Amino acid sequence: MSQTETKNQSGTNRDIVVSVRNLETTFHTKVGPIKAVNGVSYDIARGETLGIVGESGCGKSVTSYSLMQLIEHPGEISGGEVILGGQDLLKLSENEMQEMRGGKMAMIFQEPMTALNPVLTVGYQMNEQIIKHMKVDEKEARERAIEMLKLVGIPSPEQRYENYPHQLSGGMRQRAMIAMALSCNPEFLIADEPTTALDVTIQAQILELIQSLQERFNMTVQFITHDLGVISEIADRVMVMYAGTTCEMAETQKLLTSPLHPYTAALIRSIPKFGSRVEKLETIEGSVPSLFELPKGCPFQNRCPNVSDKCKESKPPLEEKRPGHQVACFHPVNL
Amino acid sequence: MTSFIIRRLIQTGIVITLLSFFCYLLMTLMPGDPVDLMISANPNITSEDIERLRALYGLDQPVLVRYWNWVSTILSGDLGYSRTYRVPVQELMGPRLINTFILSAAALLVSILIALPLGILAALKKGTRLDYSINMFAFTGISIPSFWLAIVLIIVFAIWIPLFPASGTRTVGVDLSFGELLFDRIRYLVLPVLSLSLMSIGTFVRFTRSAMIEAMANDYIRTARAKGLSWPRIIVIHGFRNALIPLITILALSFSGLFSGAIITETVFSYQGVGSLVYESIISNDFNVAMVAFMISVSMVLIFNLLADILYGVADPRISYS
């Protein structure tokens, strides 16, 4: 396996596991093609968690599905590179990709209620993946599955192995999903809003579980959420997406304390603060432009307080405005 | 589960009993009785004879008493006597029931074997030309009247291209070994089975297609793909396995028509089944034959409904009967 040792702009050595370059995903709708992901690039290093945040429809989930190549008709990955362990996944055949999915790279989903097949036992669903990727027989697969269920903190795993999904609670099911995703020792885990459908206490437990497993296996994680609170807990670095493009990327602490993009700043301002009573919660004026009629220039121009003529003319490129802090804005805040 | 089955069996028994009474009641409401047939056959009959015959056959008794007599005879294992054919009902219906069963079961098997793969294929290729062609074929099958299709099949495959016999159940007047007999019966079955299955193929294709589209749109299919499973496995184990749950009802109810669903086809192909027999028995007031035929139809529907309920529990672990 080839690993690329690169130096990032801030000068530290990072062992890059996943590298996405100019990823474009287009949906060919009846009204015309729309680019749900429009030239997104990022790297994630070994053991690192990249959080991707944004509103619904900003392209964060489509980015993840594109990495797994789970985009369905009429969608299509229309450009770019997805490099995992030195290999461009977009050049692989469907069969080779099947070996990757669930093996080297795994994914957990938002809805643990519906993400498991209701008519098959948890054990069966874990087994089929383990048998496929680890080339073991059923008995060994069972042992591995039970070991994984134990690892994610499911009590009496032997019994849970025989259970159907509906016999497990929501939190249990998400644990089982995590056990399944990690069963074949993936290098790279994509978590697509894994805690959104859970209540707050369970959410905290699941986050803790993902973090502890990540440390234990030195896994690379891409964590998608719209919840900045969750991001601050789990992510090492954060990428903020808006209308299919990246608007800001930085280490979590830097991004949350001194955001450069007006959109990120507005997002952070709109988090209600504990203990402070306000008449009205902060909001961002206007709404996300339709991907069908994206304006020329910056996609955030119609809602931006700092908008200028330049923003309406050309799209700001993603540039490093501070060490390790990239932003796509002509008039960044907090500088 | 066991207690559920026992409970449902008892319910089924009660429903069959009630329905048998209503069927009997309806039969007696029809104008005429077997003695009327004898009267029309013999103009010289006297009114004393008529009274005597009515008393002999118990036709002068109130309906409830007659019904009770019929039930007790049936329960003693005697299905009665066909007045039109002058043979016991068992002897008359037994072989014909078997013939009908063979025809319907063959048609059903052919329909399922053709329709399920076509339905799955249409679902997987939703919105493509292949899907439209399969749908077109399905709607054609549903729309074509079976008597018309039967006649066209006879013209094409028995007269223009004489591949199969035009009518009958088997070659008569020859002694055949078991293998030859089997082959002979199959030759006679091809055309009736074709005309009978085309319509159910259409229906099954439509149901399979929609059940499969629904199943494949579920989140767990995406999970299965994210696990790196192969397409055949995703389609069969994760897709079809779930599509099967809604399909069970329609399939089970089709099975309930095994003994009664082929009247027109049997008539067109002069096939020795129960279809035409049932029709004649109602027209000619042959109570015993008609009642047995009713009871078979009613019981089949109820039994297969029960079976569908039980199969639900097997196919879908979320359903529990306890």
Query: Per residue in A227-252, pLDDT tens?
Result: 898 999 999 999 999 999 999 999 99
More confident position, B320 or A169: A169
Instruction: Check whether A98 has a pLDDT greater than 90.
Output: yes
Instruction: Check whether A3 has a pLDDT greater than 60.
Output: no
Asked whether the beta carbons of A331 and A306 are under 8 A apart, the reply is: yes
Angle at A91 between CA A89 and CA A96, to 5 degrees: 65
Neighbours of A72 (CB within 10 A): 12
Helix axes A170-182, A138-151, angle to 10 degrees: 130
Of B218, B227, B317, the CB nearest to A129: B227
- At A35, give phi and psi (nearest 5°): -95, 100
Contact B230 A98 (CB under 8 A): yes
Q: Report the amino acid identity of residue A93.
A: S
Give how far A131 is from chain B: nearest CA, Å.
Answer: 10
Residues from chain A contacting residue B318 (CB–CB below 8 Å): 118-119, 164, 166
Residues from chain A contacting residue B230 (CB–CB below 8 Å): 98, 132
CA B78 to chain centre: 24
Instruction: Check whether B32 has a pLDDT greater than 80.
Output: no
Instruction: Check whether A9 has a pLDDT greater than 70.
Output: no
More confident position, A181 or B83: A181
Residues from chain A contacting residue B220 (CB–CB below 8 Å): 114-118
Radius of gyration of the CA atoms of chain A, in A: 21
The predicted-structure confidence for A272-307, as pLDDT tens digits, reads as follows 877 777 777 778 888 888 888 888 889 999 888 888
Please give the structure tokens belonging to residue B252.
Answer: 């089970």
As a whole number of Å, the end-to-end CA separation of chain B is 6
Instruction: Check whether A4 has a pLDDT greater than 60.
Output: no
Residue B261's pLDDT is 64
The predicted-structure confidence for B146-183, as pLDDT tens digits, reads as follows 889 999 999 999 999 998 988 888 888 788 888 888 88
pLDDT classification of A8: cutoffs 50, 70, 90: very low
Contact B226 A99 (CB under 8 A): no
pLDDT classification of A10: cutoffs 50, 70, 90: very low
Of B218, B228, B316, the CB nearest to A103: B228
- Give the residue-averaged pLDDT of B221-236: 95
Nearest to A70 by CA among A62, A78, A59, A82: A62
Helix axes B287-315, B63-75, angle to 10 degrees: 60
Give the CATH number of domain B89-315; options: 3.10.20.90, 1.10.3720.10, 3.90.420.10, 3.40.50.2000: 1.10.3720.10
- Give the residue-averaged pLDDT of B112-124: 95
Instruction: Check whether B117 has a pLDDT greater than 60.
Output: yes
CA closest to A99 among chain B residues: B228
Q: Write the CB contacts of B244 (distance below 8 Å, at least 6 apart in sequence).
A: B211, B315
Residues from chain B contacting residue A118 (CB–CB below 8 Å): 220, 242, 316-318
Chain A contact probe: residue of B219, B227, B245 with most A CBs at under 10 A:
B227
DSSP string, B44-79: T--HHHHHHHHHHTTTTS-HHHHHHHHHHHHHTT--
Instruction: Check whether A97 has a pLDDT greater than 90.
Output: yes
Instruction: Check whether A6 has a pLDDT greater than 80.
Output: no
Residue A12's pLDDT is 58
Residue B322's pLDDT is 66
Of A111, A119, A166, the CB nearest to B241: A119
Instruction: Check whether B218 has a pLDDT greater than 90.
Output: yes
Asked whether the beta carbons of A53 and A231 are under 8 A apart, the reply is: yes
A169, A170, A174, A176: CA torsion to nearest 10: 20
For chain B, the structural domain boundaries read 2-75, 89-315
Residues constituting chain B? 322
Helix axes B89-124, B241-256, angle to 10 degrees: 150
Nearest to B192 by CA among B251, B147, B161: B147
Mean pLDDT is lowest, of B227-236, B238-247, B277-286, for: B277-286
Of A99, A117, A119, the CB nearest to B228: A99
Size of interface A-B (CB pairs under 8 A): 76
Contact B318 A118 (CB under 8 A): yes
Contact A101 B241 (CB under 8 A): no
pLDDT classification of A200: cutoffs 50, 70, 90: confident
Neighbours of B148 (CB within 10 A): 11
Range A77-108 burial, b when 16+ CB lie within 10 A, else e? bbbbebbbbeeebbebeeeebbebbbbbbbbb
Asked whether the beta carbons of A1 and A85 are under 8 A apart, the reply is: yes
CA B178 to chain centre: 27
- What's the CA gap between A161 and A174, in Å, rounded? 14
Give how far A172 is from chain B: nearest CA, Å.
Answer: 16
Q: Report the amino acid identity of residue B161.
A: I
Chain B contact probe: residue of A97, A98, A119 with most B CBs at under 10 A:
A119
Asked whether the beta carbons of A25 and A71 are under 8 A apart, the reply is: yes
The pLDDT > 70 percentage for chain B reads 98
Instruction: Check whether B16 has a pLDDT greater than 50.
Output: yes
- Give the residue-averaged pLDDT of B235-249: 93
Instruction: Check whether A34 has a pLDDT greater than 50.
Output: yes
pLDDT classification of B228: cutoffs 50, 70, 90: very high
- Give the residue-averaged pLDDT of B271-292: 83
CA closest to A191 among chain B residues: B226
Of A115, A132, A181, the CB nearest to B229: A132
Residue B119's pLDDT is 96
**Strand A188-192 with A105-108, pairing:** parallel
CA closest to B229 among chain A residues: A98
DSSP string, A159-198: HHHHS-GGGS-HHHHHHHHHHHHHTT--SEEEEESTTTTS
Residues from chain B contacting residue A115 (CB–CB below 8 Å): 219-220, 222-223
Mean per-residue pLDDT over chain B, rounded: 88
Residues from chain B contacting residue A106 (CB–CB below 8 Å): 226-227
Of B219, B229, B245, the CB nearest to A109: B219
Asked whether the beta carbons of A116 and B220 are under 8 A apart, the reply is: yes
Burial of B73 by CB count in 10 Å (0-12 exposed, 13-18 middle, 19+ buried)? Answer: middle
* Three-state secondary-structure class, residue A13: strand
Residues of A with CB under 8 A from a CB of B: 68, 70, 97-103, 106-107, 109, 111, 114-120, 128-129, 132-133, 164, 166, 177, 180-181
DSSP H stretches of helix in chain A: 60-68, 94-100, 122-134, 138-151, 157-162, 170-182, 200-217, 228-234, 252-257, 262-269, 309-313
Contact A117 B316 (CB under 8 A): no
Residue B298's pLDDT is 87
Mean per-residue pLDDT over chain A, rounded: 90
Contact B318 A115 (CB under 8 A): no
CA closest to A97 among chain B residues: B228
Q: Report the amino acid identity of residue A300.
A: F
pTM confidence score? 0.83
